[in-house]
Amino acid sequence: GGPGGPVVVPGDPDGPTDPVDPEQPEPTFDQALAIPPLADSVVDEDGTRVFQLTAQAGTTSFREGVETETWGFNGDFLGPTLRARRGEQVAVEVTNTLGESTSVHWHGMHLPPEMDGGPHQEVEAGGTWRPTWLVDQPAATLWYHPHPHGRTEKHVYLGMSGMFILDDDGADAAGLPAEYGVDDIPVIVQDKSFTADGQLTLAQENGVPSGVMGEVLMVNGTIGAVQEVTTERVRLRLLNGSTLRSYNFGFDDDRSFQLVASDGGLLSAPHETNRIQLSPGERAEIVVEMEPGTATMLRSYPQRLGEIADPEGYGALDTLDVLRLEAADELAPSAVVAAQLSDEERLDEADATTTRRFVMKNLALNGQRMDMNRIDEVVTVGTTEVWEVRNDDPMPHNFHIHDVQFEVLSVDGAPPPPELSGRKDTIYTEPGHEYRLIMRFEHYANPEVPYMYHCHLLRHEDFGLMGQFVVVEPGTEPPTELPGTGHE
Ligand code: C2O
Ligand code: CU
């Protein structure tokens, strides 16, 4: 575009870009919601819980009679749900059978940088990788997805992601519905664009400069999904697994629900509300009460996207049906959600020793775009920091930090709203607004392997709205350049 016009962000030239077919059939909401299977694991002689994930290409029938080329883990589309308990050592044997390198990043996980699965841990075509780490953080709904340099959008969009659920004793005692696939439902929400012959496309034909704003919504890969509810309360683990679109979730009868967890785990107490907005990569757990024999539709309502230049283009005005919940005529009783969910200690601003500032402007972070060989920030292990994040672009961004869960100190100087009161690893950043985050960097230091922080709108991330930090032992001076990585 000309001066002041939209910057069109180019996608991966190897991604599918055939023309979009805007004429898509209306979803019927009578298709049983697919529930990703729980991944098998074995506990080896050292007590490590070992999972296997194979990245593979295949085809998926999203609609009867139409075969769509997709990618997935251990299957044709998406991946199984991994599940582990606080205190367990886990390992994942990753095999890449795709024709190109990929990676698997454990989004929201506190773990050593060599195990993080970012662009420095790519798995070559035909290669394997076996990260292992100790699960040492509160129960939460995390997820995993590829993070290859400059190609994350394509890999996620073609179907590669899955949930990673962490459990602990505190969450067990919180009175939350907890039977996976029965009253504890994974809800991975994604939007896709299809071509006339039913293939996924990353073409930008709807005028959005930042990626795909898909015409078709799916949950766990099911278009027009319905979930039967057989209990008085149902817990939905909402994950915005889209590459660009945000959702403002609510129900079509405007019922309220209890928000019980954000990205990094349980809130201190349930928050009753009728809307929860999630930008790409964010999660929320909600508990919904149902009456026997009734139905309700999970919807996305027009969003609060701030002063963006093109609200229509970013889907901010859309109302979209997502998932129908249908209650059986008789419902099994559910426990009452506890009034206090978590007593995790809060971080104290008085303990912060460093404040850093990150401004997103012109699709860059502090004026720079991602360089695999550059270390942008050096953090000392065992310290608490405040990160001030500001979006000075006229378009939506969000901000995700690897390795840590942060707490929100303030939004434009005011205390955060209840939905931002818990542990987070990704936060929506409205244009012209400022977010002060506090976090503590613990346990893992390696001057040679960085963690990432970036916008999780995946085409922005691929374009370079990302930086790298290393965590070092006190008194260490790491190099500012990393050894050659083979990437430009
Ligand atoms: Cu979910 Cu750096 O990513
Ligand atoms: Cu962005």
Q: What is the pLDDT of residues 394-439, one digit of tens each?
A: 999 999 999 999 999 999 999 999 999 999 999 999 999 999 999 9
Do residues 224 and 80 touch, judged by C-beta distance below 8 A?
A: no
Mean pLDDT of 123-135: 98
pLDDT tens sequence across 176-191:
999 999 999 999 999 9
The whole-number average pLDDT for the span 284-308 is 94
Select from 74, 55, 48 the least CA-distant residue to 132: 48
Ligand 1 pocket, residue 452 CB under 6 Å: yes
| Domains of the chain in sequence order | 35-168 (2.60.40.420), 184-332 (2.60.40.420), 349-472 (2.60.40.420)
Atom of ligand 1 nearest to the CA of 402: 2
pLDDT band at 30 (very low <50, low <70, confident <90, very high): very high
Query: 341-379, pLDDT tens digit by residue?
Result: 999 889 999 999 999 999 999 999 999 999 999 999 999
Distances (CA, A) of 211 to 48, 124, 143, 175, 463: 40, 26, 22, 40, 11
pLDDT above 70 coverage of the chain, percent: 97
Ligand 1 within 6 A of CB of 120: no
Residue 192, ligand 1, Cβ within 6 A? no
* Ligand 1 atom having least distance to the Cα of 454: 2
pLDDT tier at 2 (50, 70, 90 boundaries)? very low
Ligand 1 nearest-atom number relative to CA 143: 1
The pLDDT assigned to 484 comes to: 63
Looking at the CA of 108, name the nearest ligand: 1
DSSP label at residue 158: T
Where does 352-481 show beta strands of DSSP type E? Answer: 352-361, 364-365, 377-380, 383-391, 397-401, 407-411, 426-429, 434-441, 451-454, 466-472
Can you tell me the mean pLDDT for 217-223? 98
Query: Residue 282 CB: number of other CB atoms within 10 A?
Result: 24
Q: Is the CB of 237 under 6 A from ligand 1?
A: no
For the cut 50, the answer to whether the pLDDT of residue 485 exceeds it is yes
The residue with greater pLDDT, 161 or 305, is: 161
Measured in Å, residue 19 CA sits from the centre of ligand 2 at 24
The pLDDT tens digits for 199-219 are 999 987 766 779 999 999 999
The secondary structure of residue 116, as a DSSP letter, is S
pLDDT band at 476 (very low <50, low <70, confident <90, very high): confident
Q: In this model, does residue 1 exceed pLDDT 80?
A: no
Please give the mean pLDDT across all residues of the chain.
95
Q: From residue 339, how far is each of 168, 232, 261, 442 by CA, in Å?
A: 18, 18, 13, 30
Q: Which residue has the tokens 């400069």?
A: 209
User: What is the structure's pLDDT at 8?
Assistant: 73
Q: Vertex 433, ends 431 and 434: CA angle to 5°? A: 135
Nearest to 460 by CA among 264, 280, 277: 280
Strands (E), 86-134: 89-96, 105-107, 128-129, 132-134
Distance CA 57, CA 140 (A): 29
Query: What percentage of the chain carries pLDDT values higher than 90?
Result: 89
Residue that is written with structure tokens 């506190």 in the block: 110
Cα(431) to centroid(ligand 1), Å: 21
For range 78-105, the mean pLDDT: 98
User: 262, exposed or middle or buried, with CB in 10 Å at 0-12, 13-18, 19+?
Assistant: buried
Would you tell me how many other CB atoms lie within 10 Å of the CB of residue 398?
A: 27
Nearest to 444 by CA among 97, 136, 23, 129: 136
pLDDT at residue 390 tops 70: yes
Strand blocks (E) in 334-421: 352-361, 364-365, 377-380, 383-391, 397-401, 407-411
CA 350 → CA 179, 222, 353, 355, 384, distances in Å?
A: 41, 48, 8, 12, 9
247-251 and 216-219: which strand pairing? unpaired
Three-state SS for 463? Answer: helix
**Atom of ligand 1 lying closest to residue 452 CA:** 2
Instruction: Kindly state the tokens that stand for 380.
Output: 């000392």
- State yes or no: pLDDT of 382 exceeds 60: yes
* pLDDT value of position 207: 67
Average pLDDT over residues 251-264: 98
More confident call, 312 vs 41? 41
- Looking at residue 189, its pLDDT comes to 98
7 — pLDDT class (breaks 50, 70, 90): low
Interval 312-316 mean pLDDT: 86
- Position 487 scores a pLDDT of 52
Q: If pLDDT is split at 50, 70 and 90, which confidence band does 479 have?
A: confident
Contact 283, 237 (CB under 8 A): yes
